[in-house]
């Protein structure tokens, strides 16, 4: 059956290799060529505010689509199960060396396929079924793998969740309640104390967490998936030397390929982690992704990445200030990092995060619905939306553009979905996007 396809790369400025790929697919597989071209166009013509997403460089992207995908390389550099791994050893060792330099630590495992796998491997290395971990609950900004009942971490471990400050009359409303963390840790003696979140906009006090971990003999695991790029570039304090183990993804603020990473300074932990990754929880490593991680880490080691990370934070602040000046409410009244959580309950009691995200999507502004502290709505509806600055900062947005983005969001939400307003904003979104192409 022949399917009619249209291939239109529209406003996307493609690099030479990407153009070649579309051309190759256009001849061999026009349906997939059409999907790729449309996605490039979608990314180029919308404002991406999902806090966990980014636009990789052509070098990172094409390292992923290289010969390095063709090989099995179970094991570690110099200790592989299959022959022919010489170049895979070089690529993985380079990724390890660059990761340890970037995060100023001694040991790195670059094989985990994702942040979730990184956390799972750490649990497998350190815990037995039924052991206690302490973390923030998913609906307050934690993560599925931090003990959610629908995740293996919640089914096979015993999660105790520590709270945020829920008292709105306090200046530190929405911040982690460190005194409660200490009290709960003393009461429950977790084996792992987790810090690091999917929707927390304030600086994490790693030193205080380590003090608490030491009081109860817990291993401190910092899951810096969201803020890894900021930590690497000095735009957020480093989790080292306080954390025993650091897990992260490589594709958020770090702007690498989709994958995971585990770091430590402790040789015994490093050995246990390596075993827990392979053969404990994974098989053959994704060597094309590991190669792209090496490329991304080299990019993050460059001085310009520090400028990029500082701009991510400045941009988030500019967006947060604009929204608050327009009368919107942000959890913890602002941000120190790349993201913010808009609490819609105080703006319009009827408006769900789901509806707000749909209206914004219609205007070309991509956000995700998100629960906010003490949210009574389900994760499918939510009372908030999460906004982040990493992807637009990659495109070159600065404070001025972020103020425009804040004004767009305000107009869309105040219009309550009015089609004329949404369509007018959408036209302005396309105009601004045309001025800031994707990396090419
Ligand atoms: N899904 C990721 C996020 O958006 O934060 C967390 O895994």
Which residue has its alpha carbon closest to ligand 1 atom 1? 52
Is 72 part of the annotated catalytic residue set? yes
CA distances from 43 to 11, 17, 57 (A): 9, 18, 14
The CATH number of residue 337's host domain is 3.90.1150.10
User: For 210-264, how does the pLDDT look when each residue is reduced to its tens digit (9 = 90+)?
Assistant: 999 999 999 999 999 999 999 999 999 999 999 999 999 999 999 999 999 999 9
Percent of the residues in the chain that have a pLDDT greater than 90, as a whole number: 97
Which residue has its alpha carbon closest to ligand 1 atom 3? 52
Does 30 reside within a domain?
no
Is 23 part of the annotated catalytic residue set? no
Q: Do 188 and 72 reside in the same domain of the chain?
A: yes
Q: Which of 253, 272, 300 is the last residue of a domain?
A: 300
User: For 112-124, how does the pLDDT look when each residue is reduced to its tens digit (9 = 90+)?
Assistant: 999 999 999 999 9
Are 163 and 227 in contact by the 8 Å Cβ rule? The answer is no
Is 267 part of the annotated catalytic residue set? no
| CA-CA-CA-CA dihedral for 399, 402, 403, 409, to nearest 10 | -170
Tokens 């997939």, located at residue: 32
C-alpha 212/C-alpha 223 separation (Å) is: 17
User: For 180-215, how does the pLDDT look when each residue is reduced to its tens digit (9 = 90+)?
Assistant: 999 999 999 999 999 999 999 999 999 999 999 999
Q: How many CB atoms lie within 10 A of CB 241?
A: 12
Does 17 reside within a domain?
no
- Asked if residue 52 has its Cβ within 6 Å of ligand 1, the reply is yes
Are 148 and 198 in contact by the 8 Å Cβ rule? The answer is no
- The residue annotated as part of the active site, out of 112, 145, 247, 249, is 249
Instruction: Retrieve residue 82's tokens.
Output: 């299959």
Is 249 part of the annotated catalytic residue set? yes
Q: Do 265 and 119 reside in the same domain of the chain?
A: yes
Name the pTM for this structure.
Answer: 0.96
Confidence of residue 1 (pLDDT cuts 50, 70, 90): very low
Does 37 reside within a domain?
no
Does 85 reside within a domain?
yes
């Amino acid at each position: 059956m022949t399917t009619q396809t249209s291939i239109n790369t529209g406003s996307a400025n493609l690099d030479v290799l990407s153009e070649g790929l579309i051309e190759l697919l256009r001849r061999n597989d026009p349906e997939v060529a059409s999907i790729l071209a449309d996605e490039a166009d979608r990314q180029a013509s919308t404002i991406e505010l999902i806090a966990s997403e980014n636009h990789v460089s052509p070098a990172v992207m094409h390292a992923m689509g290289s010969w390095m995908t063709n090989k099995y390389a179970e094991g570690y550099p110099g200790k592989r199960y299959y022959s022919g791994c010489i170049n895979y050893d070089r690529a993985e060792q380079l990724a390890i060396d660059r990761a340890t330099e970037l995060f100023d630590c001694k040991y790195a495992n670059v094989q985990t396929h994702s942040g979730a796998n990184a956390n799972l491997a750490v649990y497998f290395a350190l815990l037995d079924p039924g052991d206690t971990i302490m973390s923030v609950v998913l609906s307050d900004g934690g993560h599925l793998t931090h003990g959610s009942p629908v995740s293996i971490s919640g089914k096979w471990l015993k999660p105790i969740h520590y709270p945020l400050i829920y008292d709105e009359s306090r200046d530190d409303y929405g911040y982690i309640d460190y005194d409660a963390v200490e009290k709960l840790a003393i009461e429950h003696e977790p084996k792992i104390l987790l810090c690091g979140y999917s929707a927390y906009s304030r600086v994490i006090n790693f030193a205080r967490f380590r003090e608490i971990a030491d009081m109860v003999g817990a291993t401190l695991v910092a899951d810096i998936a969201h803020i890894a790029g900021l930590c690497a570039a000095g735009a957020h304090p480093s989790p080292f030397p306080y954390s025993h183990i650091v897990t992260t993804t490589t594709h958020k603020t770090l702007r690498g390929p989709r994958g995971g990473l585990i770091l430590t300074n402790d040789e015994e932990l490093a050995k246990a982690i390596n075993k827990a990754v392979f053969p404990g929880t994974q098989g053959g490593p994704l060597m094309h992704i590991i190669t792209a991680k090496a490329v991304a880490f080299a990019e993050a080691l460059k001085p310009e990445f520090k400028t990029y990370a500082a701009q991510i934070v400045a941009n988030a602040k500019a967006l947060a200030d604009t929204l608050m000046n327009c009368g919107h409410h942000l959890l913890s009244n602002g941000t120190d990092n790349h993201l913010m959580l808009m609490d819609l309950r105080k703006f319009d009691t009827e408006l769900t995060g789901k509806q707000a995200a749909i209206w914004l999507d219609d205007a070309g502004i991509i956000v995700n619905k998100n629960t906010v502290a003490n949210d009574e709505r389900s994760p499918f509806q939510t009372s908030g939306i999460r906004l982040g600055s990493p992807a637009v900062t990659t495109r070159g947005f600065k404070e001025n553009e972020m103020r425009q983005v804040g004004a767009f969001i305000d107009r869309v939400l105040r219009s309550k979905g009015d089609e004329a307003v949404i369509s007018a904003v959408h036209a302005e979104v396309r105009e601004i996007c045309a001025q800031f192409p994707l990396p090419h």
